[in-house]
Amino acid sequence: MNANWSLSNLTERINMSSVFVEQLMWVAVGLIGVVTFISLLALVLVYAERKICAHIQCRLGPMRVGWHGILQTLADGIKLFLKEDIIPDEADRLLYFLAPFFCLVATLLSLLVIPLSPQVQIIDVNIGVIYLGAVSGFGILGVIMAGWGSNNKWSALGAMRAGAQMVSYEISTTLSLLVIVLFVGSLQLSEIVLSQQEGWWIWRAHGVGVLAFILLLISSVAELNRTPFDLAEGESELTAGFHTEYSGVRFSFFFLAEFINMFILAAMMSTFFLGGWMPFHIGQLTAFNAAMDLIPPAIWFIGKTSVMIFVFMWIRWTFPRLRVDQLMKLEWQVLMPLGFVNLFLAAIVVLTNFYFFA
């Protein structure tokens, strides 16, 4: 009897171990896929940024390396990796070394839960919204560590600006996302996408969806430290802000994290407000809806996210930079009160079931 019990117990433990190893292997494969995806995505986004900037300013942009300069970003990346890595003598070496990794890890962890299509989502946690809010803090921590660890007054000032700015605008970002959480009744990102089968939340929520989308757009630009909210990297004042003392590979990590964060925020806006990988449907127009269903979900997601990325780049090369006091006043006196009012109105709409296709 004891021998049979021991054998069954051993078999159960082996099965549990095999399941754990299999799950660990899938996570490892997912991480490798994410790293590869990040590398290719960064090349595309940097090239797109330079071309869009050039055309807005009536220029051509990079044209020499490859057809229409398509290999220019790859050449610049190789140059960065070959550059000398200079470390300031008085720097806090531990913080100085860890800072770029914290910024990059935040982007990696965020990408793990973004549903790119029905089949492509590495981890689908039931607290996805809370998870995204939590891991985004790693990026803020990395910025502050970089400014302090560099032992440079301009870097420290840029880090303090960035920390205050990112933490402040995180409030408006969270309030905007909570509006959609109220309508869906779930924190799981896959369920948020599936809840938009009958219509996207940006227009389906009787006004509060549109306002939440606008608030999230403004807050996202501020969290990315991009113009007109690039006070943390003001070249005319702070040289380059918190990453002034970084060069070579470590500087490329900050550069990479900035562009991947832009993709993540654009993907979040697509997921929460534009249906994610869901096609565009109009009521009972069966033929039109069937034609939209022919487009693969991944193409829908890439298209929506690309539009939002273009909007981020358009804003950057169109508007002038704000002052620091204007930046903080916009959040604490305008966006945050609007966010709370909008969340309250959204709660009323949900309680009264007064929205399209309930």
In-domain check, residue 310: yes
Closest by Cα among 239, 213, 217 to 229: 217
> Do 143 and 208 belong together in one domain?
yes
> Do 76 and 123 belong together in one domain?
no
Q: How many domains does the chain have?
A: 2
pTM value surpassing 0.85: yes
> Do 170 and 219 belong together in one domain?
yes
In-domain check, residue 339: yes
In-domain check, residue 220: yes
Listed residues 33, 50, 82: the one ending a domain: 82
In-domain check, residue 93: yes
> Do 189 and 48 belong together in one domain?
no
In-domain check, residue 256: yes
Per-residue pLDDT of the chain in tens (358 residues, 90 and over written 9): 455 556 566 566 666 667 677 777 777 776 777 778 888 888 899 999 999 999 998 999 899 888 889 999 889 888 888 888 888 888 888 988 888 888 888 888 888 889 988 887 888 888 889 999 888 878 888 888 988 888 888 888 888 888 888 889 999 999 999 999 999 989 999 999 998 887 889 888 778 999 999 999 999 999 888 888 887 766 666 666 788 888 888 888 888 888 999 999 999 999 999 988 999 887 777 888 888 889 999 999 999 999 999 999 999 888 888 888 898 999 999 999 999 999 999 999 888 877 655 4
What is the structure's pLDDT at 181? Answer: 93
> Do 140 and 208 belong together in one domain?
yes
In residues, how long is the chain?
358
What is the structure's pLDDT at 358? Answer: 45
> Do 118 and 201 belong together in one domain?
yes
> Do 220 and 295 belong together in one domain?
yes
Listed residues 62, 82, 102: the one ending a domain: 82
> Do 56 and 93 belong together in one domain?
no
Count of beta carbons in the 10 Å neighbourhood of residue 14: 10
Angle between helices 153-184 and 248-273 (to 10 degrees): 20
In-domain check, residue 327: yes
Residue 34: give the domain boundaries: 1-82
In-domain check, residue 357: no
> Do 69 and 168 belong together in one domain?
no
What is the structure's pLDDT at 248? Answer: 83
In-domain check, residue 358: no
- Between CA 348 and CA 205 the distance in angstroms is 11
> Do 188 and 152 belong together in one domain?
yes
Listed residues 53, 82, 111: the one ending a domain: 82
> Do 101 and 203 belong together in one domain?
yes
> Do 60 and 96 belong together in one domain?
no
Angle between helices 248-273 and 128-149 (to 10 degrees): 150
